[in-house]
Amino acid sequence: MVARTGRAQRRTEALSRERITEAAVELLDASGEGGLTFRALSERLATGPGAIYWHVANKGELLEAATDAVVAAALAEPAEAAGSPRDEIRAVALGLFTAVAEHPWLATQVSLQLSHGPTKSVPLRIFEGIGRHVGALGVPEDSWFTVASALMHYILGSAAQNASNARVAGSVVDRAEFLDEVSAAWEKLDPDDYPFTRAVARQAREHDDREQFLAGIDLILAGIHAR
């Protein structure tokens, strides 16, 4: 009995929270939130549910851990890069944009954490990752909160919308065909009711998502500089 307990303890120690979180991210990427079950996780880790529950209390905690791990990784590389405050903000923004694009479930989980309040770990990570460069831009301290919030809302909103569009396009046709359909539909709109939308129909067909996203960041940063 003592030997068996010792083996069980060693297995529990080997099965770290980090390893469980990595496996959860893999399941989420492959099958979405619905595919993340403790049974599927046990099979992937070749262990029993009890060993997982030793480290993670429930699915909600597991989702938070997975979200935190992906966001932390997205922010880690820009944090190591040397550059101007403007370049570093662009790097943080692009890192988050890419993370949301590569992990289709991430936008929903970040939004859930935001809806539960600004004290959750992921919103705090993102806000700090952006905000620590705002002062270096020359923004007056009494405007730090407003500027960092505006950047954060644009980054997360744009990244989530892009991921949503990618899912819609992927479920029907490839991206180029999807944009062709959108552009063709816009070109057929009533010119009196939708003159602007018709005018940019071709731009919608030809645009690059990342370039468009970064152009928005540059517009915000240009406004901050002008102010």
Is there a single domain that holds both residue 181 and residue 208? yes
**Is residue 12 domain-resident?**
yes
**Is residue 47 domain-resident?**
yes
73: domain CATH number is: 1.10.357.10
Last residue of a domain, one of 16, 33, 56: 56
**Is residue 62 domain-resident?**
no
Alpha-carbon distance of 125 to 127, in angstroms, equals 6
Domain count, the chain: 2
Close Cβ partners of 163 (under 8 Å, ≥ 6 residues apart): 100, 101, 104, 106, 107
CB 152 within 8 A of CB 160: no
- Other Cβ atoms closer than 10 A to 79: 13
- Give the pLDDT of the chain (227 residues) as one tens digit per residue: 334 444 444 444 468 999 999 999 999 999 999 999 999 999 999 998 889 999 999 999 999 999 999 999 999 876 555 688 999 999 999 999 999 999 989 999 999 988 887 788 899 999 999 999 999 998 999 999 999 999 999 999 999 988 877 666 555 457 788 888 899 999 999 999 999 999 999 998 888 899 999 999 999 999 988 87
| Phi, psi dihedrals of residue 15, rounded to the nearest 5° | -85, 85
- What is the value of pTM for the model shown? 0.83
Note down the domain range covering 27.
Answer: 1-56
